[in-house]
Copies of this chain bind each other. A is one copy, B any other.
Amino acid sequence: MRFRQIISLLIFSFTATLAQAEIPWAFQPLPEQPPIPEDNPQSDAKIELGKQLFFDPRLSLTGTHSCNSCHNLAAGGEDGLAQPVGVNGSKGRRSTLTLWNAAYHTVYNWDGSSKTLEKQVWQHILDKNVMAMPDSKTLLERLNDIDGYRLQFDSVFEGEGVTETTIAKAIASFERTLVTHNSPFDRFLNGDKQAISDYAQQGFEQFIEIRCASCHFWVNMAGPNPGLALQQGEGFYELFPNYPGTDYEKRYGLADDIGRYDFSRIKTDKRMWRVPSLRNVAITAPYFHNGAVKTLDEAVRVMAKTQLNRDLSGNEVTYLVEFLKTLTGEFPQIALPRLPATPKRTVMKE
């Protein structure tokens, strides 16, 4: 863990020096494409198949919840709720993270418990509070029974067909297309100084000065990933709350969840969390792993206090929020897929 914090501090000192003169090097627009793993190259047919699976509620035990049920791509790529609601109304433990630009991360989930997009697919399909499939076999059988899927899998994954691996690969391929380019901040980084307001520019300067930027930097505003210090599977984690015992901590129960430790059982992982992206943060309330904070203003105050031991003035909050709003990108148009039918039988074995 330590070495990642050192990386962060190094980058921060570097950027702080440059802040007055020019845009710090540690801020970069989103690259055109996220990293594509060598064993899962993109193809139009694979992306289309992945999109169908993503929107298909038959991936859940009850046939009621698709990936899109919680990761709503018509909105911020999440559900707008403090806790996700899975099959049979059961609530998930941690607030849904956005899938927009997720492909620029190097680990997944709040605790980094999946090292690839492919791996997190099955985590959620099998999670009893999410899609609640009892085992992978049940889903493989169900998809194999749907001609339209079986034929596509045979064509996209020649000689492999419908397997745990190919399902994950198809969905991950689609998820790698979920990129929001050209936010006002990206345009600003690309040289258009009018792209963000004066208030937002002041907010950006504060963002660096008060050291929000020590964690939220680089292409995804989420630390050194990808292609900068960290490789796929290596996470950038921070302690949260960093300054324990604040009023905010109590009010919002911020320390009630033990974080990455619960997954890794490594003592130093207690209350460590993967740094989330700030891209599109203005449209992904509520905030934090427990979704306890409802507004961006309050989230900014909470972070300044719990992470940086700083009480912000009203103006500082305003400027920072104005800056954060410039991180909302342009959303690609997504055509609703046509899901293959299950002719002559019901989906669910009831």
Q: Measuring CB to CB, which residues of chain A are less than 8 angstroms from any residue of chain B?
A: 52, 55-58, 62-64, 69, 72-76, 79-82, 85, 87-89, 282-283, 285-286, 291, 294-297, 321, 325, 331, 333-339, 341-348, 350
Q: Which 10 A-B pairs have the closest CB atoms?
A: A89-B89, A283-B341, A294-B346, A88-B89, A286-B346, A334-B336, A75-B339, A80-B347, A64-B85, A295-B344
Measured between beta carbons, the chain B residues less than 8 angstroms from A55 are: 74
Measured between beta carbons, the chain B residues less than 8 angstroms from A89 are: 87-89
Measured between beta carbons, the chain B residues less than 8 angstroms from A64 are: 69, 79, 81, 85
In the bound assembly, the distance between CA atoms of A76 and B57 in angstroms comes to: 13
Could you name 7 residue pairs across A and B whose Cβ atoms are closer than 8 Å?
A75-B338, A82-B346, A282-B344, A286-B346, A294-B346, A334-B336, A336-B336
* Chain B residue with the shortest CB-CB distance to A76: B341
In the bound assembly, the distance between CA atoms of A88 and B64 in angstroms comes to: 12
Measured between beta carbons, the chain B residues less than 8 angstroms from A350 are: 82
Which label, helix, strand, loop or mixed, suits the secondary structure of the A interface? loop
Partner of A80, one of B283, B285, B348: B348
* Chain B residue with the shortest CB-CB distance to A282: B343
User: CB distance A74 to B345 under 8 Å?
Assistant: no
The answer to whether residues A85 and B62 also contact, given A57-B79, A283-B341, A343-B296 and a CB cut-off of 8 A, is yes
User: CB distance A346 to B80 under 8 Å?
Assistant: yes
User: CB distance A335 to B335 under 8 Å?
Assistant: yes
User: CB distance B333 to A336 under 8 Å?
Assistant: yes
Contacts A63-B79, A74-B336, A285-B342 aside, 16 further interface pairs with beta carbons under 8 A come to A55-B74, A57-B72, A57-B79, A63-B80, A63-B81, A73-B336, A76-B341, A80-B342, A82-B348, A87-B89, A285-B345, A285-B346, A294-B345, A321-B344, A331-B338, A335-B336
User: CB distance A341 to B63 under 8 Å?
Assistant: no
In the bound assembly, the distance between CA atoms of A282 and B147 in angstroms comes to: 14
In the bound assembly, the distance between CA atoms of A51 and B62 in angstroms comes to: 26
* Chain B residue with the shortest CB-CB distance to A88: B89
Measured between beta carbons, the chain B residues less than 8 angstroms from A321 are: 344
User: CB distance B338 to A335 under 8 Å?
Assistant: no
User: CB distance B341 to A325 under 8 Å?
Assistant: no
Measured between beta carbons, the chain B residues less than 8 angstroms from A87 are: 89
* Chain B residue with the shortest CB-CB distance to A298: B344
User: CB distance A283 to B335 under 8 Å?
Assistant: no
Measured between beta carbons, the chain B residues less than 8 angstroms from A335 are: 333-336
In the bound assembly, the distance between CA atoms of A62 and B343 in angstroms comes to: 33
Measured between beta carbons, the chain B residues less than 8 angstroms from A56 are: 74
Measured between beta carbons, the chain B residues less than 8 angstroms from A82 are: 346, 348, 350
* Chain B residue with the shortest CB-CB distance to A296: B344
In the bound assembly, the distance between CA atoms of A321 and B297 in angstroms comes to: 60
